[in-house]
Amino acid sequence: MFAILHDREVTEDVLKELIAAHFPDGLGLQLKNKDSIEVCDFMRKALADLTFPLEEQQLNDLAADFSAIYLTASLLASPNESVWLTEERLVCQEPMFQVREWYQRYGLAAENWRVRADDHLVFQLQFVSHLFKLDHELETLKQTARFLDEHLLRWIKQFAAQVASHCDTAFYAGVALVTAQYLDELRDVLAGVIGQPRPTPEEIERQFKPKVEEIPLKFFAEYNPEVDGPPGWS
């Protein structure tokens, strides 16, 4: 469901289906923490405020928001992980190749990475869904938790906050916020199922921090002013 909502412009029929399904209450995981409850209330109101048939201006506003978020990046809210996790804030950087390696382990590949990069939000959501459909083995659940920790959960809340504060429609603000909260609570559930606490953000970031190799002191020559003269550049 989330992958679909982030994948393409929402239509009037899809909006009606969401309302009929009592979105976001009809999701498999019922969101319960304080932030999630507020976000779900916001999403419900966004849907309740829609009037059908939708006016042309409403449809145009929704289309413009989708384009600004997912196509033109005019909101500076990229759906690509690389933009959030690299200093250069560019697409197709190291995070993309890390995500690609995850897909390859399970015999998957992005359809056309030049059009939509491997680390795009839609592909990552589809991958998480794929892992849950594979089996219910403990190891698979552990790997799902690890993928969330190493990728989606490192940037999804930043993405959601940027979308919510800059988009023009309550609908797309709500979709971004609910997606982020859903993934966060899903990870909490996994922690209980696999019997392992969630790592802290600091622990995750240390894992990806470049390691600086220390040069043993024995490789440094001892400075002797009587032989080497005054210190300086040579």
> In the chain, what are the domain boundaries?
2-91+154-228
Task: Record the tokens describing residue 4, joined without a space.
Answer: 């679909």
pLDDT for 218: 54
For residue 55, what pLDDT is reported?
A: 95
Average pLDDT for runs of 10 along the chain of length 234: 97 97 93 96 98 95 98 96 96 97 97 95 98 95 98 98 98 98 98 96 88 54 55 46
pTM exceeding the 0.85 threshold for the entire prediction: yes
Burial pattern 158-179, b for ≥16 Cβ within 10 A else e, equals: ebbebbbeebebbbbbbbbbbb
Q: Where are the alpha helices (DSSP H) in the chain?
A: 2-7, 12-20, 34-48, 56-66, 81-85, 94-105, 121-134, 138-150, 152-166, 170-194, 201-208, 225-228
Phi first, then psi, for residue 120 (nearest 5°) are -65, 145
Q: Which amino acid is at 142?
A: K
Coil, strand or helix at 79 = coil
Amino acid letter, residue 185: E
